[in-house]
Amino acid sequence: MDPTLEQHVTALQTRAVEPLRVLEKKLLRAEKRKFADQQRQLQSLKTSLFPGDGLQERVENFMPWYALYGKEFIRKLYEESPALKQQFVVLAL
């Protein structure tokens, strides 16, 4: 190989690799931003389902829902209750 072309080849290599590095940084920032948005949404959901890092039924009273839905609310709770199982249930009325 001609030694005079070595600098030219090195310059071409640098020009080809640098845009890839820039693209990689942009993709990484976009992924971090997406992950942060998902984390924020999950945290918001957790806060609404577990107010004060506790169980919702320990913080909120059932009376507003009972006043709104009547006996149907109690029946729905009974039907959907997992009884003694260790799991959570989200009811949509």
Is this model's pTM higher than 0.75 or not? Answer: no
- Compute the average pLDDT of residues 3-24: 89
For residues 86 and 93, the answer to whether their CB atoms sit within 8 Å is no
In tens, the pLDDT along 70-93 reads 999 888 888 888 877 888 888 776
Does 16 reside within a domain? yes
- Tell me how far apart the alpha carbons of residues 42 and 86 are, in angstroms, rounded to a whole number: 21
Q: What domain range is 89 assigned to?
A: 61-93
Where residue 31 falls among pLDDT bands split at 50, 70, 90?
Answer: very high
- Tell me how far apart the alpha carbons of residues 87 and 89 are, in angstroms, rounded to a whole number: 7
Does 56 reside within a domain? no
Where residue 67 falls among pLDDT bands split at 50, 70, 90?
Answer: very high
Q: Do 79 and 46 share a domain, yes or no? A: no
The structure tokens listed for 41 are 């949404």
Where residue 59 falls among pLDDT bands split at 50, 70, 90?
Answer: confident
Q: How many independent structural domains does the chain possess?
A: 2
pLDDT of residue 93: 66
